[in-house]
Amino acid sequence: AQSVAQPEDQVNVAEGNPLTVKCTYSVSGNPYLFWYVQYPNRGLQFLLKYITGDNLVKGSYGFEAEFNKSQTSFHLKKPSALVSDSALYFCAVWTGRDDKIIFGKGTRLHILP
Amino acid sequence: NAGVMQNPRHLVRRRGQEARLRCSPMKGHSHVYWYRQLPEEGLKFMVYLQKENIIDESGMPKERFSAEFPKEGPSILRIQQVVRGDSAAYFCASSPQGSGANVLTFGAGSRLTVL
């Protein structure tokens, strides 16, 4: 079955420190992977995606994500966290033939000043 | 160029009433997706529609829920005889083609509260 997992409900990071939000996936075929961010009372906003090519994908607001095929992971990273990065982050995967995108449960990121 | 427009933003219903949630996709987008967000449960896929067609409704409850995307006008998510468990945020997203590599553009959501 196609699935995406975010093992951490919440991640706390001090401002200025690097951050990582974890994501693992299970999908048949080549994965199309996405990260979205949700601010309070808003819809989801696209951050970045991996389709093919370089395993390190750069996205909006200084975020990047590393695709690791052997570990079936697509962790979101940022070298230096900002308080304004505090939000709910969703990893997502395209299911292929079903042609829909499924989302993980989300990880709440708290950046501490 | 307006994004995905959802209304109402907030809707309060009593148990047994009907809720209708509307979604106008981005201009040029012909594919619409509905998701439900419950606290601690993340974002759950409900239904995927193209104009006048339901492509995948595998995430929709079998009873009381229906969705449409007519040739003209917005997509509608309809919940009949609402119960307290239907209280959630319902998000609509659109894309110009089938999802695949396409980025979904989300609306701000409709928050349904069932009293």
Kindly report, residue by residue over A37-47, the tens digit of the pLDDT: 999 888 899 99
Kindly report, residue by residue over A13-38, the tens digit of the pLDDT: 999 999 999 999 998 888 899 999 99
Q: How far is B18 from chain A (nearest CA, A)?
A: 23
Nearest CA in chain B to A43: B108
pLDDT over 80 (residue A55): yes
Contact B98 A103 (CB under 8 A): no
**Mean pLDDT, rounded, of chain A:** 92
**pLDDT category of residue B92 using cuts at 50, 70 and 90:** very high
- Please name which of B32, B58, B72, B42 lies closest in space to residue A90, comparing C-alpha atoms: B42
To test the contact with chain A by mutation, choose from B54, B104, B105 the residue with the greatest count of A C-beta atoms within 10 A, namely B104
Q: Cβ of A20: how many Cβ atoms within 10 Å?
A: 14
What is the reported pLDDT for A1?
A: 74
What is the reported pLDDT for B98?
A: 67
| CB-based contact, A77 to chain B, within 8 Å | no
- Please name which of A42, A36, A57 lies closest in space to residue A101, comparing C-alpha atoms: A36
* B8: preceding bond cis by omega (within 30 degrees): yes
Q: What's the whole-number mean pLDDT along residues A69-81? A: 96
Nearest CA in chain B to A100: B99
**pLDDT category of residue B1 using cuts at 50, 70 and 90:** low
What is the reported pLDDT for A86?
A: 96
Tokens standing for residue A82: 């900002």
Q: How far is B32 from chain A (nearest CA, A)?
A: 11
- Please name which of A109, A23, A18 lies closest in space to residue A66, comparing C-alpha atoms: A23
**Distance separating alpha carbons of residues A22 and A53, to the nearest angstrom:** 21
pLDDT over 90 (residue A108): yes
Q: What's the whole-number mean pLDDT along residues B6-34? A: 95
SS3 annotation, A37-102: EECCCCCEEEEEEECCCCCEEECHHHCEEEEECCCCEEEEEECCCCHHHCEEEEEEEECHHHCCEE
Tokens standing for residue B67: 């969705």
Q: What are phi and psi of A8, to 5 degrees?
A: -110, 125
